[in-house]
Chain A
Amino acid sequence: MKMKSIISLVFVSTMVLAWLLYFDTEPVPETTDEAVQSYQLSNGMKVLVIENHRAPVVVSQVWYKVGSSYEHDGITGISHVLEHMMFKGTEEHPAGEFSEIIAANGGEENAFTGQDYTAYFQKIANDRLELCLELEADRMRNLTLDEKEFLKEVEVVKEERRLRTEDKPTALTYERFNAVAFTNSPYRRPIIGWMEDLDTLTIDDVRKWYKTWYAPNNATLVVAGDVMAEEVYRLAKQYFGQLPTSEIEVLKPRREAKQYGTQRLTVEVPAKIPYLVMGYKTPVLTNVEEEWEVYALEVLAGLLDGGSSARLTNNLVRGQHIADSASASYGMTAKHETLFVLSAVPSDGVATDVLEFALREQIDTLKTQLPDEKELDRVKAQVVASQVYQQDSTFYQAMEVGMLDTIGLPWQVKDEYVENIMAVTAEQVQQVAKKYLVDEQLTVAVLDPLPIENTTTTSRAAPAAGGRHDY
């Protein structure tokens, strides 16, 4: 799957949908797969259903193809702010009513924003699905976007940024690491946005963003749980089927520019423990030339960090006592080139450059020595088992399908995943290590703690409530 094919996929789908609008054909399920049943409404909205009859509950998710990677400088965080504003009401259902109705019906609901997607969900008794669809359809096109509500909500988002990033030394380091690792890729911007951009964001920016991206032909409904697929399709047609489409802008590819050598940065903030992050630019399934490479990278991440028996814990935490903790992560499902990340906290008294050296040794070993079969089998056994365990979460199943679809991959990727992992050989792991985990593609960030001044504690008997805050 290459970058080009995603773009044409988006393009083709808007073409197809224009045709459907005119002829209003009755779409048939596009697949015979038992797990996911797929439909498309005449206005281009996709509907994916996973029947799972374990418990009389249902998960409903509406996914939009928009997230921080769709943003540009100056308006960072706007997708996430809009996600907050989606709870601020429509003419039909004023601010708060959406949540109120869902809660009164015994449901849970929330939303999340990622680099490549924004999604809204409800978990509710299966006979209440219709309610969710009605409310979601309403806010897809009819959001009020009141300025007063926006001015308060953007302050809430800034508090969220303080909580998640500003006052967390490791999160702050990771944010800056990411901003340096990518030169021009949209992934260099934080999902929550820069504080400086949040400060100058306006309701007009948000209105424009909503108008640009929130339309049925840029959305996918995923429903998983104790439902019948045909019934979900019928309800989806009833509530979303009449919504007008928008012309969805085709984004430029914005491929990451070539990197010339290792990039380094230091973050100096008040903290107690150092932290090291290393990231190598790596392809993802949407843009890799040889698909097996991304599966080999997943296995490679498993060799390093697939459990407590994996190499990082075995060698660096237990063996050499260099790391207090160490992890490796790679995700093959994203729209753009991503990072294979190693992160670690040094053991007490160990310098970060010693830790970096040790992590690089682990990478070098992967390039020079083939992993033995037993070790590979262990990684694969965990993947196979995880696929079974994931069935315990209907939400996760819906999420997996929604995410794949939203980044432009067929959801069948999920079903072929185990097979593709099982096919990875020791030689392939070595090849991707040699090809991608190289110094020219590396960025290294170090959190260098400054002393924390003034952690003095004062205790006192306080005045009773009502006057206790006059300290």
Chain B
Amino acid sequence: MTINIVSSLNGRFMPGRLMQCLAVLGLMVISVAINAAPQIQTWQTENGAKVLFVPATEIPMLDVRIVFDAGSARDHGLSGLAVLTNGLLAEGAAGKTAQQIAEEFESVGAQIDNDALRDMALIGVRSLTESRYLTPAIETLKQVLTQPDFPDEAYQRELNRMKVAVKAQQQSPAALASEAFYKAVYGDHPYASPVSGTEESLERMTLDAVRAFYKKYYVASNATVAIVGNVERWQAEEIVKALLSTLPAGEKAPALLPVEPLTEAKQIIIDYPSTQTHIYVGQTGIKRGDDDYFTLYVANHPFGGSGFASRLVEVIREQKGLAYSVSSYFLPMREAGPFIMSMQTKTEQTEQALALLDQELIKYVNSGPEKDELAASMSNITGSFPLNIDSNSKLLNYIAMIGFYDLPTDYLDNFIGNMKAVDVKKINAALKRRIHPERMVTVIVGKQ
């Protein structure tokens, strides 16, 4: 049965009195029992794809996901190309229509999953593991993956739907703010390109460009396969073979250009008739595998990364009642992803909110976290690790990420140790080295 959650999430937090209340509860020593992280098995296919596999025997189901270095960073000026190509895979393949493909998956209860982001494009399926369900699901996925037909009708239709999606973004102050932010932070870098395209780029789109994009990037050398589910190693190997053996080896996508740091503060103001002003403040951040990754992850946690436990929420929501949602985060990507602080507040409070964001950021970069804030963050980060890996879908996300970004396969084993190795000295040094309040991009969307 479906549960429609028509509801709203809340939640709250306040750092500061932590040690006091822990003492009250007799919880001075916090150590959460951690189960060993799952062992990731890994191998390479003959045509060069990397495979990561975690057996999970509790539920008779399997998730398989193939990730390609074929996100919008590969659009080469034709924004929307990666998304369109990915979206067309299941719209006609091996001579079958979109309807036939959908029926084949759905008649065995399989769920296809596909998406294209800035770095990656992915396609996969969730299926029951009984072979009468699994075998047809894998066979259809193979056709979609290796023999897409890109029929003209589907191409026109999906292109038109992307044009509507671009219009939908134009009626969303949040989307307008995000797009303007990426544009201002990334300038000429491919990460500046709007993932879903623009009115202008979609006018220039061609079916030939889609075919060429597929041929170049949907190749085995450019692929990472992640599998989690109730199969044994040999079965996982068979599944990967069935899916990928006919995919050309091709070439791995070339390295992206490094991201240039910002040289000056920039302000983008978009006049929009909303009751709230949407604010994005930020700069370039970190790469996956960056030396400062763990340090900055921990550093951001008490600042704006722990929801109701964070300073931003405390100051902006708790003390002032200015916003429902305020947060900061690093989005690590292949090349430096952004560092973003964002919030929304009613128009009249815009200046006050901006001043508070500035003030908190400068204060934090100058002084870093308090001792008890850091201790609280550390217990949360290490103690909540079992929650990060408590389902097949979370594990799948993790191993797909580990494989795609070439992180070590013992990443999960060392996760807690790496976090614990972060101390206040490292945090303060990294904040000063990596965060530059005097060179931030500020995007303001709302009534001016």
Contacts and interface: CB of A to CB of B under 8 A. Distances in A.
Instruction: State whether these chains interact.
Output: yes
Interface of A: 54-57, 80, 83-84, 87-88, 93-101, 103-115, 123-125, 127-128, 131, 151-160, 162-164, 166-169, 191-192, 270-273, 298, 306-310, 313-314, 317-318, 321, 324-325, 329, 331-333, 345, 347-348, 374, 377-378, 381-382, 384-386, 388-389, 391-394, 396, 399-400, 403, 414, 417, 449, 452-466, 468-469, 471
B33 A127 contact: yes
Contact of B1 (A115, A191, A384, A417): A417
A167 B275 contact: yes
Contact of A106 (B127, B380, B390): B380
Contact of A167 (B15, B276, B325, B361): B276
Given A156-B324, A386-B109, A460-B266, 19 more contacts: A96-B318, A101-B27, A103-B379, A114-B7, A115-B6, A125-B383, A154-B321, A156-B323, A158-B346, A162-B274, A271-B171, A313-B102, A321-B157, A331-B3, A385-B133, A403-B3, A452-B272, A459-B266, A471-B269
Given A308-B102, A378-B106, A159 B323 contact: yes
B131 interface: no
B442 interface: yes
Interface stretch (B54-62, B246-254, B332-340, B406-414): B54-62
Interface of B: 1-15, 17-18, 21-22, 25, 27, 30, 32-33, 35, 58-61, 90, 98-99, 102-103, 105-112, 126-128, 133, 154, 157, 160-161, 163-164, 167-168, 170-173, 176, 180, 184, 264-276, 306, 308-309, 317-325, 344-346, 350-351, 354-355, 358-359, 361-362, 376, 379-380, 382-387, 389-393, 437-440, 442, 444, 448
A381 B13 contact: no
Nearest to A157: B324
A105 B322 contact: no
Given A55-B35, A104-B380, A131-B25, A163 B324 contact: yes
A191 B6 contact: yes
B309 A99 contact: yes
A123 B394 CA distance: 15
Contact of B10 (A110, A331, A469, A471): A110
A153 B27 CA distance: 30
A461 B265 contact: yes
A107 B376 CA distance: 12
Contact of B362 (A449, A466, A471): A466
B22 to A, nearest CB: 6
Contacts of A392: 59, 61, 391-393
The CB with the most chain A CB atoms within 10 A, among B98, B160, B308, B382, is that of: B308
The CB with the most chain A CB atoms within 10 A, among B8, B14, B448, is that of: B8
A80 B59 CA distance: 36
B8 A192 contact: yes
A162 B265 contact: no
Given A108-B384, A460-B267, A471-B269, A163 B276 contact: yes
Contacts of B324: 156-157, 159-160, 163
B61 A388 contact: yes
A99 B310 CA distance: 11
Contact of B168 (A55, A273, A400): A273
Contacts of A329: 2, 4
A324 B13 CA distance: 41
A94 B18 CA distance: 12
Contacts of A109: 11
B4 A331 contact: yes
A347 B376 contact: no
Given A96-B14, A388-B59, A389-B111, A455 B33 contact: no
Contacts of A108: 384, 387
A272 B169 CA distance: 9
A340 to B, nearest CB: 12
The CB with the most chain A CB atoms within 10 A, among B273, B344, B376, is that of: B273
Contacts of A97: 14, 17, 21
Contacts of B267: 459-462, 468, 471
B379 A468 contact: no
Contacts of A461: 264-267
A154 B10 CA distance: 12
A464 to B, nearest CB: 4
Contacts of A313: 102
A191 to B, nearest CB: 6
B397 to A, nearest CB: 12
B440 A106 contact: no
Contacts of A347: 160-161, 164
B9 A110 contact: yes
A88 B317 CA distance: 13
The CB with the most chain B CB atoms within 10 A, among A111, A163, A307, is that of: A163
Contacts of A124: 387
A114 B376 contact: no
A465 B13 contact: no
A169 B269 CA distance: 22
Contacts of A314: 99, 102
B270 A100 contact: no
A280 to B, nearest CB: 16
B30 A105 contact: yes
Contact of A56 (B13, B33, B320, B323): B33
Contacts of B273: 270, 452-454
Contacts of A309: 99, 102-103, 105-107
Given A96-B318, A101-B22, A389-B61, A465 B440 contact: yes
A464 B438 contact: yes
A382 B109 contact: yes
25 contacts: A55-B390, A107-B383, A112-B7, A112-B10, A124-B387, A125-B383, A153-B321, A159-B276, A159-B322, A159-B345, A166-B274, A308-B112, A309-B106, A324-B160, A331-B1, A378-B103, A381-B108, A385-B133, A388-B60, A394-B391, A454-B272, A458-B268, A461-B265, A461-B267, A462-B442
B172 A168 contact: yes
A464 B33 contact: no
B272 A318 contact: no
Contacts of A374: 107
B5 A459 contact: no
Contacts of A454: 271-273, 448
A54 B270 contact: no
A462 B266 contact: yes
Contacts of A414: 1
A167 B324 CA distance: 14
Nearest to A225: B390
Contacts of B154: 318
A21 to B, nearest CB: 30
A419 B361 CA distance: 56
A268 B126 CA distance: 41
A105 B110 CA distance: 38
Contacts of B127: 385
The CB with the most chain B CB atoms within 10 A, among A94, A106, A152, A192, is that of: A106
Nearest to A273: B167
Nearest to B359: A466
A298 B266 contact: no
A106 B379 contact: yes
B358 A466 contact: yes
